[in-house]
């Protein structure tokens, strides 16, 4: 079973240009090894994936920038009690009508029903923003 898995976003509030870390803790809390375990994590709308920020504590991770998602596969059965962490960072680049920047994680393993979890960070005008300004250099 993977339904004890946790998906979290930190920090809870961000400003424009701020960065959020989304972390999935994939847990095999079943009574046998989980074969064919995999997960797909989506980058929220309005956010840009931070280059080279995708990480997995085991297995393989494929980043698809065109689909704005990350796909993880265990490669071998996950033993009972195993915990795998998959994470990525995303930067808030465009404000959306809904102030929640929600990422979904879809998990599955052989013989188990697929399981989905979500994590979000909330836009706040009071949260620190990381806006960059570029000024031209004029030389005489």
Question: Is pLDDT at 134 greater than 50 in this prediction?
Answer: no
For the stretch 40-89, pLDDT in tens is 999 999 999 999 999 999 999 999 988 899 999 999 999 999 999 999 99
Highest mean pLDDT among 92-96, 112-116, 133-137: 92-96
Q: What's the mean pLDDT when you consider all of the chain?
A: 90
C-alpha to C-alpha distance for 137 and 140, rounded to whole angstroms = 10
Is the model more confident about 125 or about 110? 110
Highest mean pLDDT among 3-7, 27-31, 50-54, 94-98: 50-54
The average pLDDT across 24-29 equals: 93
For the chain, count helices (H), then strands (E).
0, 11
Give 86: exposed, middle or buried? Use CB within 10 Å, 0-12, 13-18, 19+: buried
């Amino acid at each position: 079973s993977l339904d004890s898995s946790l998906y979290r976003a930190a920090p809870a509030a961000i400003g424009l240009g701020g960065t959020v870390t989304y972390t999935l803790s994939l847990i095999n809390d079943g009574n046998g090894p989980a074969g064919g375990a995999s997960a797909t994590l989506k980058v929220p709308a309005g956010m840009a994936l931070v280059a080279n920020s995708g990480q997995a504590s085991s297995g393989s991770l494929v980043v698809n920038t065109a689909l704005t998602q990350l796909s993880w596969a265990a490669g071998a059965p996950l033993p009972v009690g195993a915990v795998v962490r998959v994470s990525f960072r995303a930067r808030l680049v465009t404000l959306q009508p809904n102030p929640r920047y929600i990422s979904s994680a879809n998990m599955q393993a052989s013989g188990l029903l697929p399981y989905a979890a979500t994590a979000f960070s909330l836009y706040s005008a009071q949260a620190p923003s990381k806006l960059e300004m570029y000024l031209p250099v004029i030389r005489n």
